[in-house]
Structure formats: structure tokens, C-alpha cells
Amino acid sequence: MSKISERMKLINQYYDNLEYRINKKEALEKINTLIKDIKLEHVNPPQRYQQVASIIEKNIYLFKACEDVDTVTSIINYLYDASIKMTFDSQLFIHGDIRILYGMDIICEEPMTPLFLKTVLFNEFDLKCGYDYIRQLKFNYIITMVLLQDSDLYAVISYLKIKPSSLSKISRIFVHETIKKKFLWLIKKHLHFTRHMNLPISVFQKTHDLETLFRYEVLNIVSIWSEDIIAAKDLAGFLNRDIVFINSLLEFCSGVKFVYKFSYDNDMHLKIYNISPEDYTYTVHQSLIKCALYSYNLFYDGTWQIPIKGKYWEKQSETEVIIYANATKHDVEKCMISAMKAFIVWSTWSMASRIEALYRLASILECHGKYLLAEIVLHCIKVPDISQNELFCDYDERLEVSNMYKPEGVAWIEAAAESNLFNYLARFLIKGNCVIVISDECLSTIAPYCNMFVTAKIPPGVINLLSFKNAKDTYGHINLHMQQIYNSMKYIILPLQ
């Protein structure tokens, strides 16, 4: 018997031996009564989190009758941990730990548990203050399961038998072609409740077939099953997912943050897409472009691009006139398509390969006398929080969790100072994101350096430039977008017991 099967057997015995003093229906009714009775309106957020954790502990038999035992324990640990963090940083209440609502919707089997947490943790004033922020969040997720060729199928079946509700949350099960027949046979034999379910099972031959199964607008969760832990970890690192479970599913601890996705109406490309250039741009005569000291078109797909509508604008100083192309919605669309295609390639490059490309860029900058910018790029390469992974265990050493920065997609960036712009540029590129730089008359531009990116052999579409006469309406959205992309993490969770 494999170690995974032994673990499933112990879990199964543990659940069989549980003796609750109450059935689930009665427990749900009593939790509903708790919601009505608890009054924490005048308690500050840190104390409220601590008191709610204490309330769950005192009524733990109610919650354990409705939820997985480990889930209840993790919720309590999460609340205490959040209370401590919010004591030192009050902004975590709205901008960080509201993720608990997101996570509980995914993990909990009974809707009553997330409802309890939302009601007792957030009073009407808190929800009103955070409403605009919450409204922009998109609580969608996709859960997939991957069964590799050496998966312990009996352990998988045991897990699904213990937690049957997890099947309803799984969007698709990817099974290696060599074990499909056996897996289907085991399902038919042991999981009788699936007879009337249309299980979403797909077959794959190579792990590379799983590479592109990622959606940017939702939280991507995958459960990988394999007896070869090293191979499973390698696959977990290779796949662009937000949370990866190995030989388990939805077992979490307080150190895991559920990344939220901004809703479609807040997507950056739509904000940029809607900028109207009609009032402040014009078609520049070719003779004026020739007279200007410098003139720059748009830059995307690895080359200079003439703006589709022929719109330009000029930036004047006491000593020079520079002509810039003005992007319209058609240019934005083409640039975005180019960047998305490039991301598929760039995000699969190893960290070492991306760093090597940035070393080449730093060297080229030095050759052109741009020593400060070269130093900034080199500094970003050496920052440990970007290139190194963190490994930790939960409180009771039940789970091993490794977290790392992950490529999220296309990052829109802007900065008034050139040094800050290159700092953002290098950091986003190292993490595997593609970049679209937005510039206008008040912002810095990368236009003088675009040819250097090509010389540094950075793939086409990885670095792009869209310029506008005035993009002030997008500043706030871009800053929020940059924060979300930059802080995007991947968690790999492995059970130790």
C-alpha cells in the first residue's frame, strides 16, 4: 500500500470514528441562530476577528458537524492570524483579509459557514466603506484535477468518497490515457453517487497538453496526484496556476491567500481602449515630423508601428520638439493581442533565461551611457524577494506550503520618472509578465530604448509602448492594476500527514 493510500485510510477511519453530538440539519439551524444573536458592532476589526475565532471554538461541535474537521481548524487559525496582522496594519481589513470571504466560498461545503463569517465579521459600516472595493472583485474560480500516470487511483477514489461535494466544484478531471479505463472502472465500482452525474473527464498524453489551460480572469486551482512527489512539484512549478495541491484538494492554512481577480469592467485594456483621442490629436504632416528633433511611432510585436488612424501629438520644451504617435482603440487591440501571444512564450521561460535577457539589456544600456538605468535593472535582478521561493509549514505541521511570485499576464505600467519606470519594467519582466507601457505628456516613456529591447533578444510582444496625449483618467486604475499583478503569488500545498 502506498503512503498516499495509507493516509487516505487513516483519514477515512478518523471520519468514521467522529461522534458529533448533533446532526447537520440541527447544527445549521443553531449556527443561523448564532448569526442573529452575535452583536459586535462597536468592536474594532482585530478584536472582532479574535472574538469570532473564540465563538467558533466554543461552538466547534456545530461547525465540525457541517464542515471538514481540518477546514474548521484552519478557519480558526486564519482568524487569529488575521487579527494579529490587522493590529499592526489596519489596511489589511479591506485590502487584504476580505479575501477570507472569497476563500470560504470555495472551501466550505455548507453556504451557512461563509454567511456566518460575512455577517459577524463585517458590520454594515464596514461593508459600506469597502463596497466600492468589494464590488470590483470577481469571485470566480476554476478547479481542475490532474491524475498522472503513476497516480494512486485508490487514494483518489477514497478522497472523493470522503469529500463527495468536491466533485461538484471540479470543472474538469484530466486523466493520463494509460489509466483512464481503470479510473472509470473504480468510479463505477466505488462512487455510486456519480451514476447520475456527467463527470467532466478528459484524457491527456503529455503534461505540456495542460500548459495553456489557464484563464486570467478567474482563480485557477489544480490538484495533482502522483506517487512521485518530485515530479508533481516540477509540474506544479511549470503550470501557470494560482494554487496547486499535491495529492489533496482544498486543504489550506492561514498562510495561503486567495487571490481575487478584478471584474471584467475594470480590465485595464478596456480603460485604455476607451480613451478618445479626437479632441487633442491631429494628423501630423510628414514635413513636421521630419523637422522634429525626434519622432516616435507606437511599439508592439517587437517593431515600430504606425498608428492606424494616423494620429500624433507633439511635446515641446525650450530646446526641442518631439512628435509621438497617439494610440486609438484599434492600436490598443492589436497591441494587446501581441502581448497576450508573447506571454504564452515568455511565461514559460525559466527564471534564469529571463534574467539572462535582462543582463543583456543592462549591458546594452551601459554601452549607450545609461548607467543609472543599467544599475536599476541589475539591482532588480538581484532582489531576493523576486527570484527566491519561500517554504513554510502550517501551525500543526500538517501541510508544507511553498509560495513564489507567478506570471499573471499582461501588466500595464506607467511612471513619471524614468528610473521608476525601468524599476517596474524589470520587476514585472523577471516574474514572467509581459508589459505595456503607457506614456503621455506627463509620464515617462521607453521610446528611446525600444530598439535596445530588440538587440537584447527579448521576444517580440514582451515589451510594448502605447503613447497618448492625455491618459490621466487611467492613472488610478493602472496603479491598482500594477499592485495586483506585482503581488500575484502561486502556492504549492503538500500534505505531510
pTM: 0.72
Q: Which of 192, 224, 250 is the last residue before a domain boundary?
A: 250
Answer yes or no: is 341 within a domain: yes
Answer yes or no: is 395 within a domain: no
Give the pLDDT of residue 362.
96
Environment class of 22 (CB within 10 Å of its CB; exposed 0-12, middle 13-18, buried 19+): middle
Q: Based on the domain organization, do 213 and 347 belong to the same domain? A: no
Give the pLDDT of residue 17.
42
Q: Based on the domain organization, do 160 and 75 belong to the same domain? A: no
Answer yes or no: is 440 within a domain: yes
495 Cβ contact list (under 8 Å, min separation 6): 7, 246, 247, 248, 251, 398, 399, 400
Q: Based on the domain organization, do 314 and 241 belong to the same domain? A: no
How many Å apart are CA 323 and CA 303, to the nearest integer? 18
Q: Indicate the number of domains in the chain.
A: 3
Is 358 in contact with 422 (CB distance < 8 Å)? no
How many Å apart are CA 245 and CA 145, to the nearest integer? 9
188: number of Cβ within 10 Å: 11
Answer yes or no: is 290 within a domain: yes
Give the pLDDT of residue 16.
45
Q: Based on the domain organization, do 383 and 243 belong to the same domain? A: no
Question: Which residue from 134, 59, 144, 135 is spatially nearest to 98, judged by alpha carbons?
Answer: 134
Q: Based on the domain organization, do 3 and 49 belong to the same domain? A: yes
Q: Hey, what's the cell of 115? A: 454567511
Q: Based on the domain organization, do 324 and 338 belong to the same domain? A: yes
How many Å apart are CA 176 and CA 494, to the nearest integer? 21
Q: Based on the domain organization, do 240 and 302 belong to the same domain? A: no
Torsion of CA 190, 193, 197, 203, to 10 degrees: -20
The separation between CA 453 and the C-alpha centre of its own chain, rounded to angstroms, equals 27
Answer yes or no: is 276 within a domain: no
Question: Which residue from 359, 388, 386, 395 is spatially nearest to 375, judged by alpha carbons?
Answer: 359
* Alpha helices by DSSP H, 327-449: 329-346, 351-367, 371-382, 384-387, 418-430
Q: Encode pLDDT of 287-329 as tens digits.
A: 555 555 678 999 999 999 999 988 888 887 767 788 899 988 8
Q: Based on the domain organization, do 145 and 132 belong to the same domain? A: no
Give the pLDDT of residue 295.
84
Give the pLDDT of residue 214.
66
Is 298 in contact with 466 (CB distance < 8 Å)? yes
Q: Based on the domain organization, do 113 and 180 belong to the same domain? A: no
Answer yes or no: is 397 within a domain: no
Give the pLDDT of residue 85.
77
Answer yes or no: is 148 within a domain: yes
DSSP secondary structure, 289-354, as one string: HHHSSEEE-EEETTEEE--TT--EEEEE-SS-EEEEE---HHHHHHHHHHHHHHHHHHTTS-HHHH
Q: Which of 136, 152, 178 is the last residue before a domain boundary?
A: 136
Range of the structural domain that residue 170 is part of: 141-250
Answer yes or no: is 329 within a domain: yes
Give the pLDDT of residue 131.
45
The HSE-up count of residue 294 (CA atoms within 13 Å, CB side) is 13
Q: Based on the domain organization, do 238 and 318 belong to the same domain? A: no
Is 300 in contact with 329 (CB distance < 8 Å)? no
CA angle 381, 368, 410 (to 5 degrees): 45
Question: Which residue from 287, 452, 432, 424 is spatially nearest to 361, judged by alpha carbons?
Answer: 452
How many Å apart are CA 145 and CA 233, to the nearest integer? 15
How many Å apart are CA 83 and CA 473, to the nearest integer? 36
Q: Based on the domain organization, do 88 and 219 belong to the same domain? A: no
Q: Which of 204, 235, 250 is the last residue before a domain boundary?
A: 250
The separation between CA 311 and the C-alpha centre of its own chain, rounded to angstroms, equals 36
Q: Hey, what's the cell of 377? A: 535593472
Q: Based on the domain organization, do 32 and 162 belong to the same domain? A: no
> Which residues of the chain register pLDDT less than 70?
1-22, 41, 89-102, 123-139, 212-214, 216-217, 254, 258-293, 318, 384-396, 480, 484, 486-487, 497
Give the pLDDT of residue 294.
76
Torsion of CA 119, 120, 125, 126, to 10 degrees: -90
The HSE-up count of residue 12 (CA atoms within 13 Å, CB side) is 16
- CA Rg value for the chain: 26
CATH number at residue 371: 3.40.605.10
Q: Encode pLDDT of 415-447 as tens digits.
A: 999 999 999 999 999 988 999 999 988 899 999
In single-letter form, the type of residue at position 280 comes to Y
CATH number at residue 202: 3.40.309.10
